[in-house]
Chains A and B, each alone.
Chain A
Amino acid sequence: MGAIRLENVKKTFGNIDVIPGVDLEINDGEFVVFVGPSGCGKSTLLRLIAGLEDVTAGKILINDVDMVNESPAKRGLSMVFQSYALYPHMTVYNNIAFGLKMAGEPKAVIDEKVRNAAGILNLTDYLERRPGALSGGQRQRVAIGRAIVRNPAAFLFDEPLSNLDASLRVNMRLEITGLHQELKTTMIYVTHDQVEAMTMADKIVVLQAGRVEQVGKPMDLYAKPANKFVAGFIGSPKMNFIEGDYARARNCACVGVRPEHLLLSTEQGEIAATVKIAEHLGAETYLHVNADNIGPMTVRATGEVPLSGNDRVWLTPDPERIHRFDASGNAISN
């Protein structure tokens, strides 16, 4: 059981409001991802929930009990750190067992739980090694093992994959998602990588400057971003924003259209443009173009498109999928 509710949680460092006031509801068993650019306060928010930082004001309710004044250990949460934060002087076995020892569990119980966790995470052969003798992925698994043996109300992940190389990151992403499906425990996952957020989350919380910009399912954020910030942050390559006459003609201050929602033609279309750079990925082609009277735009075309620099192209936004924003950046419903 791990339902977490934040009520007007504030955090200031000196005179700086890092978190001006956040309300958030996390349901039991949900996989919630906090995403945002670096410095947006997502890690701070996680550390506030963990109890590693004290809140300036507000309530943090875990299973309806306010935990604001409780020590990290008493909150019943486990955390996986970006740096893994394994105890370098202990074996893998003792790393995983440490929390159970601190809780005063009997030896036999500790042994069973540690071996069980090691089994789930494929660490059985490494139990007697020290962290220094493990690869990055194995260390990450030990850190997760340390978290799961304590049978926490929720797992907190602080950018756990950013120290891994790209291919390992994809594997670990799948492993963590699989682990969530198996354990069905609440997970809060912090990342700056919107791909991780989109692929793993049940619910995404987009943060900017300590404020929650939007909360929703990944596809809701993609299809109906609440504002320009969310629209630009979710989705890769980034959404194109068009201002000026083109937007005025559509009764808004700014039109947003995703690169994959632009129809590409070499003969005719709504917007004329010149290709600057073409990135050929095989399965798809990214064209960075300079649109007449508009400026730089990105187009994502499926499959191989045999275009290169200085070619003339025409783009037509899918009228069903354009996003309109008012002068303050908020979305206007279509």
Chain B
Amino acid sequence: MDSKFKTPFGQFAYSVFAWIVGLTVFFPILWMVLTSFKSELDAVNMPPLFFDFNWTLENYSGILEQSNYFKFAMNSIILSFGSTFLGLIFAVTCAWAMAFNPTKRTKDTLLWMLSTKMMPPVGVLVPIYLVFRDWGLLDTRFGLIMVLFLMNLPIMVWMLYTYFKEIPKDILEAARMDGATLPKEIIFVLLPMALPGIASTMLLNIILAWNEAFWTLNLTTSDAAPLTAFIASYSSPEGLFWAKLSAASTLAVAPILIVGWFSQKQLVRGLTFGAVK
């Protein structure tokens, strides 16, 4: 930490600043959770009501009665975990090749992979939609898993590449001298050593896939629809019902929020891995 934070005043100012940033980031989530316990009337009250309203669970019971939350949640789980596991299989092998057997073009390939993430997805919506329609993939879990997997693959490869780069090549060569075949070398030596990195790559990708809304909304209707579609179904067409929408959103983000909370340490460690030695 910078030395100016070490004076008592500096530390105080730093804490205040950190709290402001933290609360600003957290406020929308807090507001969403509060609103989910309000009646529709209280939800749109001016001035906004913070805690002095009639707390009610009717939004939640209404939602659970009206729509099949668990079906959406199950889809979210299948899509995010499915695309992450599929991605891992490809990303581990890609990153292995790039980190330990680089060619002259490896750096370019990595940049090119990342550059695909800079393109707005809407730019390819029509072609992908048409492909999905012709191949019968619309509203299928398989189709969406493929899209989410391909979409997040560059990030997975990049993350794993940076972790693998930290692993001395000698150790893999030692395994090779010890008679390990390539799959054994990866499974018994590389993966255990890169475990923290792999765990944070998995977590980040599960979260990214869970929160992905563009493709999940555009390529599904009901069968494969995840929680993002579940939220969206409460924002139209009869007008906005803030309290119900908030309750739906709370239900949708709760699982991943809890997972993220418990794996916070792992995530932060993973994301700054290599940056601090």
A73 adjacent to B168 (CB under 8 Å) = no
- Min Cβ gap A202→B in Å is 23
Question: A72 at the A/B interface (Cβ < 8 Å)?
Answer: yes
On chain B, which size bracket covers the interface?
10 to 19
B175 adjacent to A81 (CB under 8 Å) = no
B176 adjacent to A73 (CB under 8 Å) = yes
- Min Cβ gap B66→A in Å is 50
Can you report 13 A-B residue pairs in the complex whose CB atoms are below 8 A from each other? A50-B177, A52-B177, A71-B176, A81-B174, A83-B168, A85-B173, A85-B174, A87-B171, A87-B193, A88-B193, A98-B175, A99-B177, A103-B179
Question: B178 at the A/B interface (Cβ < 8 Å)?
Answer: yes
A68: chain B residues within 8 A (beta carbon): none
B181: chain A residues within 8 A (beta carbon): 73
Question: B170 at the A/B interface (Cβ < 8 Å)?
Answer: yes
B184 adjacent to A78 (CB under 8 Å) = no
B171 adjacent to A86 (CB under 8 Å) = yes
Docked CA distance A99–B173 (Å): 12
Docked CA distance A102–B182 (Å): 12
Docked CA distance A196–B243 (Å): 79
A73: chain B residues within 8 A (beta carbon): 176-181
Q: A73-B179, A85-B168, A103-B179 are in contact. Are A146 and B174 (CB under 8 A)?
A: yes
B176: chain A residues within 8 A (beta carbon): 52, 71-73
Contact digits for B175-199, partner A, Cβ 8 Å, 1 yes 0 no: 1111111001000110011010000
Question: Chain A: which residue is nearest B174 at the CB level?
Answer: A85
Docked CA distance A73–B177 (Å): 5
Known contacts A77-B177, A85-B174, A87-B189; 10 additional CB pairs below 8 A are A50-B177, A52-B176, A72-B176, A79-B173, A79-B177, A85-B168, A86-B174, A87-B171, A102-B184, A103-B179
Interface residues of B in 156-178 (CB under 8 A from A): 168, 170-171, 173-178
B174: chain A residues within 8 A (beta carbon): 79, 81, 85-87, 146
Question: A150 at the A/B interface (Cβ < 8 Å)?
Answer: yes
Interface residues of B, Cβ cutoff 8 Å to A: 168, 170-171, 173-181, 184, 188-189, 192-193, 195
B168: chain A residues within 8 A (beta carbon): 83, 85
A50: chain B residues within 8 A (beta carbon): 177
Interface residues of A, Cβ cutoff 8 Å to B: 50, 52, 71-73, 77-79, 81-83, 85-89, 98-99, 102-103, 146, 150
Docked CA distance A73–B185 (Å): 12
B193: chain A residues within 8 A (beta carbon): 87-89
A79: chain B residues within 8 A (beta carbon): 173-174, 177
A89: chain B residues within 8 A (beta carbon): 192-193, 195
Which of B178, B184, B192 sits near A146, CB closer than 8 Å? B178
B175: chain A residues within 8 A (beta carbon): 87, 98
Question: Chain B: which residue is nearest A149 at the CB level?
Answer: B178
Interchain residue pairs A-B with the least CB separation, the first 7: A73-B179, A99-B178, A85-B170, A102-B179, A85-B174, A89-B192, A79-B177
B178 adjacent to A150 (CB under 8 Å) = yes
A99 adjacent to B171 (CB under 8 Å) = no
Docked CA distance A77–B179 (Å): 10
- Min Cβ gap A22→B in Å is 21
Docked CA distance A89–B192 (Å): 7
Which of A83, A88, A98 sits near B178, CB closer than 8 Å? A98
B195: chain A residues within 8 A (beta carbon): 89
B178: chain A residues within 8 A (beta carbon): 73, 98-99, 102, 146, 150
- Min Cβ gap A94→B in Å is 10
A88: chain B residues within 8 A (beta carbon): 171, 193
Docked CA distance A78–B174 (Å): 9
A150: chain B residues within 8 A (beta carbon): 178-179
Question: Chain A: which residue is nearest B193 at the CB level?
Answer: A89
Question: Chain B: which residue is nearest A147 at the CB level?
Answer: B177
Question: Chain B: which residue is nearest A76 at the CB level?
Answer: B179
- Min Cβ gap B86→A in Å is 26
Question: Chain A: which residue is nearest B178 at the CB level?
Answer: A99
A78: chain B residues within 8 A (beta carbon): 177
B173 adjacent to A52 (CB under 8 Å) = yes
A102: chain B residues within 8 A (beta carbon): 178-180, 184
Docked CA distance A83–B169 (Å): 10
Docked CA distance A87–B185 (Å): 11
B179: chain A residues within 8 A (beta carbon): 73, 99, 102-103, 150
Question: Chain A: which residue is nearest B171 at the CB level?
Answer: A85
A52: chain B residues within 8 A (beta carbon): 173, 176-177
Which of A72, A83, A103 sits near B177, CB closer than 8 Å? A72
Docked CA distance A102–B171 (Å): 15
A72: chain B residues within 8 A (beta carbon): 173, 176-177
Docked CA distance A78–B192 (Å): 23
Docked CA distance A71–B193 (Å): 24
Question: Chain B: which residue is nearest A156 at the CB level?
Answer: B177
- Min Cβ gap B182→A in Å is 9
Docked CA distance A271–B51 (Å): 101
A81: chain B residues within 8 A (beta carbon): 170, 173-174
Question: Chain B: which residue is nearest A74 at the CB level?
Answer: B179
- Min Cβ gap A89→B in Å is 4
Docked CA distance A293–B21 (Å): 77
- Min Cβ gap A41→B in Å is 18
- Min Cβ gap B192→A in Å is 4
- Min Cβ gap B171→A in Å is 5
Docked CA distance A88–B171 (Å): 9
- Min Cβ gap A291→B in Å is 46
- Min Cβ gap A296→B in Å is 40
B177: chain A residues within 8 A (beta carbon): 50, 52, 72-73, 77-79, 99
